[in-house]
Amino acid sequence: MKIVLQRVNNAKVEVENKIVGRIQKGIILFLGISKNYTEDKLDWMINKILNLRIWPDENDKGFQKSILDIQGEILVISQFTLYGDCSRGTKPKFNGSCEYEKAEEVYDLFIEKLREKSKLKIESGTFGGMMKINSENDGPVTLIIEK
C-alpha cells in the first residue's frame, strides 16, 4: 500500500460536476493499493496516519499534533496510478496495482476502519471514477507513506 498524504486547509472532490466529498482542516489521502496488500499493512497504515504528528502546537512549535489531536477531517481518494511504473518507455505500466474488484474491497475496508478507529469526519471520492480534486495545501506538508 502507498499513500500520498497532504495537510490541507480544505479540499473537495467532484464527480460529473457534483461534489461527492468535502472537508475543512485536515488531510487528503491518495490511496494506492498494490497486489501484495494485506490487512496487517492496512491496519499499520491507518494507525500511522492517525498518529502522525504534522500540525504545530499552541506555541507554534511544528510537528507536535496529530489529526486526532486537532479533530481534523479526512478525504480519501483512490489512486491506482501511485503504482505506475515509469522506468521504461513513455507509457506507465500498472502491473503492481491490485486488480479492480479486490482494490475496491480494500478501499471500502480502509475507509470503514478509518471511521471506526478515529470517529473523525471521513469523506471520499468515487472508487474508479474520474474525479476533480481541489485542495488548499497547508504548509505545504506532503508525505509518502508506504508499507
Task: Give me the CATH number covering residue 74.
Answer: 3.50.80.10
pTM for the complete prediction? Answer: 0.96
Separation between Cα atoms, residue 8 and residue 2, nearest integer Å:
19
140: preceding bond cis by omega (within 30 degrees) = yes
Residues with catalytic annotation? Answer: 79-81
Segments forming the whole domain that contains residue 112:
2-146
Separation between Cα atoms, residue 131 and residue 99, nearest integer Å:
20
Q: Residues of the chain whose pLDDT is less than 70?
A: none
Q: Which three cell numbers stand for residue 88?
A: 521504461
pLDDT score, position 16: 95
pLDDT score, position 96: 92
Separation between Cα atoms, residue 10 and residue 23, nearest integer Å:
5
Separation between Cα atoms, residue 102 and residue 6, nearest integer Å:
25
Q: Which three cell numbers stand for residue 15?
A: 464527480
Separation between Cα atoms, residue 34 and residue 137, nearest integer Å:
26
**DSSP label of 58:** T
Q: Which three cell numbers stand for residue 61?
A: 512549535
pLDDT score, position 82: 96
β-bridge pairing 18-23 and 132-146? unpaired
**DSSP label of 123:** E
pLDDT score, position 112: 98
How many domains does the structure of the chain reveal? 1
pLDDT, one tens digit per residue, over 36-60 is: 999 999 999 999 999 999 999 999 9
In sequence order, what DSSP letters do the residues of 77-110 get, joined into one string? Answer: EE-GGGG-B-SSSSS-B-TTBPPHHHHHHHHHHH
